Amino acid sequence: MAAQTDQKPTLWQIEISHYSEKVRWALDYKHVPHVRRSPLPGTHIPIALALTGGAQLTLPILTVDGRTIGDSTAILAALEEIQPQPPLYPTDPKERARALELEEFFDEQLGPHTRLLSFFELMQEPDVFAEVAAASVPGPFGRVKPLVGAYARVLTSVRWGANSAAAADRARAAILAALDRLEAELEQGEGEFLVGDRLSVADVTAASLFYPLVLPPEGPVSPELPRPSGLERFRQRLSERAGYRWVQETFRRHRHHAAPSLRRSTA
């Protein structure tokens, strides 16, 4: 690893966030010891603004070597410099360019839509939303499920517009288009990886940003948590597709979590 300070990198995250999962995957894959801080959703906005001097109002944010880096794409680029091995960027220039293009595509054309649809379907079932929200907040807040659930519904409605049925319809269409793109890209290769013959930033991004739909057991959401019925119906429609199964397999084969010795904390 490149020269380090004595202080471990700190990942400011939202536990259930798929963009946070993308960064966690990269940190764990590269075996970077780090601290994770998970503020209460909603309070993460002023924290993000304070950390970035007003430049960013959401998480994930990584502080490392005196730098504060926002946005999952910028964080992965920094990690590739700090800890080049094992690489997530292909060495071949053409493959690298393709992997980065796919990262941008899934960041922009998939991630916002899986988030919005998940929140929309959760809002249709307040009891389920309360269970999921309570499991996702730090410390004692999770013990007051009705209050946490109501807070989560207001936050997602205001922050993401997740109460709009029209927006949910657009999100489903975008997810289907992203799944089509994923399968088309896989057909160009040998099927396991999107680019080249090893895991890359393209695979980590696509799999992480599909996780709210696929909900693999290796992901951040416990399989024991209840799931909204509308999202379950949508999942079932897609569960036999090659792209859906690829997400499951990519998590199963490559989502190696950090060793228990790595220090974590919550805010």
Q: What CATH number does the domain containing 196 carry?
A: 1.20.1050
Among 28, 57, 82, residue at a domain's last position: 82
Average pLDDT over all residues of the chain: 88
Please report whether residue 35 resides in a domain.
yes
Please report whether residue 2 resides in a domain.
no
Reply yes or no: is the peptide bond before residue 86 cis, omega within 30 of 0: yes
User: At CA 95, angle to CA 92 and CA 97, rounded to 5?
Assistant: 105
Please tell me whether residues 211 and 246 are part of one structural domain.
yes
Please tell me whether residues 60 and 183 are part of one structural domain.
no
Please tell me whether residues 71 and 141 are part of one structural domain.
no
Q: For residue 37, what pLDDT is reported?
A: 94
| Selected residue with higher pLDDT from 131 and 1 | 131
Q: For residue 174, what pLDDT is reported?
A: 98
Please tell me whether residues 217 and 173 are part of one structural domain.
yes
Q: How far apart are CA 84 and CA 90, in angstroms?
A: 11
Q: For residue 266, what pLDDT is reported?
A: 39
Render pLDDT for 30-43 as a digit per residue (tens, 0 to 9): 999 999 998 887 78
Determine the angle formed by the axes of helices 18-29 and 201-214, rounding to 10 degrees. 140
Average pLDDT over residues 116-144: 79
pTM of the predicted model as reported, rounded to 2 decimal places:
0.89
Cβ neighbours of residue 35 closer than 8 Å, sequence gap 6 or more: 8, 9, 10, 11, 263, 264, 265
Please report whether residue 262 resides in a domain.
no
Q: For residue 143, what pLDDT is reported?
A: 53
Please tell me whether residues 245 and 169 are part of one structural domain.
yes
Please tell me whether residues 28 and 125 are part of one structural domain.
no
Render pLDDT for 163-216 as a digit per residue (tens, 0 to 9): 899 999 999 999 999 999 999 999 987 779 999 999 999 999 999 999 999 999
Please report whether residue 88 resides in a domain.
no
Please tell me whether residues 63 and 120 are part of one structural domain.
no
Q: Which domain holds residue 35?
A: 10-82
Average pLDDT over residues 39-54: 86
User: At CA 28, angle to CA 27 and CA 30, rounded to 5?
Assistant: 70
Among 43, 59, 82, residue at a domain's last position: 82
Q: How far apart are CA 170 and CA 207, in angstroms?
A: 21
Computed on alpha carbons and rounded to an integer, the radius of gyration of the chain in Å comes to 18
Helices (H), the chain: 18-29, 44-51, 72-82, 93-109, 111-123, 126-136, 145-160, 165-188, 201-214, 229-238, 242-254
Instruction: Name residue, tokens 């959703």.
Output: 41
The sign of the torsion formed by the CA atoms of 93, 108, 68, 35 equals: negative
